[in-house]
Amino acid sequence: MRTLEHKVALVTGGSRGIGKAIALELAGAGARVAFTYRQASHEAQKVLDDIRAKGSEVVAFQSDAAVHSQAKEIVEKVVAQFGRLDILVNNVGTTRDGLLMRMSEEDWDAVISTNLKSVFNFAKAACRPMVSQRSGKIINMTSVAGLVGNAGQSNYAASKAGIIGFTKSLAKELGSRNIQVNAVAPGLVETDLTSKLTDDQKKVMVEAIPLQRPAKPEEIASVVLYLSSSSSDYITGQVITVDGGMVL
C-alpha cells in the first residue's frame, strides 16, 4: 500500500543501517526520497539503485550533517528538485564510547555535534518549507540510552537525551502549523554500530531484552513509516521506544 504517494522525504545518514532501512521503507510506500551520507559512497550508490528498482525517485547528497550551512543547502536543493518537503528523518549518528574520566573533549564534541547539532541543523532548515505548506512530519532518531543512560556512553546518552528535549519543544512550537514532531528510541539493533560489540557484550544485552533478540533495522523503519503517514496526524511530541522491552 503506497501510503506516502506524492510525499517527499529527506533521511539523514541514509546509506547504511537504520537509515538505509528507513529510506527503502519510505520509498516502498511511494515517497520520493532524498538522503544524505558522509563517506560511504559505495553504500549510497547501492541504496540509490535499490530505490530506483522500486520505481521511486531518489537523490543522494554527500555532506557533514553537523555543518549548518550544508544542511540548509541540502533542504533547499530537495525543495527545488521536488517542489516540497513533507517528511524529515533525522537519523545520522555516531558513537565514541569511553568512561568519562578517560573521554577526550574531542570525543565529547564529535558525538554531540554529529548526533544533536545535526538535528538542529536539518530541523531548522526544514521548518520553512513545512510551515509554508502548513504540514509536515519530523521524526528524530534517539535511543534508549537517552532515556536510561549507559555507562561508557555519557556523550552518546547526553546527545540522545538532548534530542528528546528538542523533539518535545519543537512539537510545541510547530503544532499550530499542522507539523508533527516525534522521536523513535531504538534499543539494540543489528547495525554496523552494534557490530563493534563483543559477543559477551551482546549476550548481556540480549538477556536484558524480554523478546530475547536484537531488532532488525526494518522493524525500526516500520515505526518511522507510521509516524510519516497520515495515520499519525494526531500524535506529536512523543518518544516511541522500539526495544523489545529492554527498558521496561
Kindly list the catalytic residues.
156
HSE at residue 89, side-chain half, CA atoms within 13 A, is 35
Query: How many Å apart are CA 50 and CA 109, to the nearest integer?
Result: 34
Q: Give the DSSP H or E segment for 182.
A: strand 179-186
Instruction: Mention every residue, 6+ apart, whose C-beta is less than 8 A from residue 85.
Output: 8, 10, 75, 78, 79, 126, 129, 130, 133, 136
Residue 59, exposed/middle/buried by CB under 10 A (0-12, 13-18, 19+)?
middle
**Type of residue found at 200:** D
CA 70, distance to chain mean position in Å, is 17
DSSP class of residue 13 equals T
Mode of pairing for the β-strands spanning 87-90 and 179-186: unpaired
The CA angle 144-93-125, to the nearest 5 degrees, is: 110
* Long-range contacts, stretch 93-100, CB < 8 angstroms, 24+ apart: 93/13, 93/141, 93/159, 93/193, 94/193, 95/153, 95/156, 95/193, 96/155, 96/156, 97/152, 97/153, 97/156, 98/152, 99/151, 99/152, 100/154
Rg (CA), the chain: 17
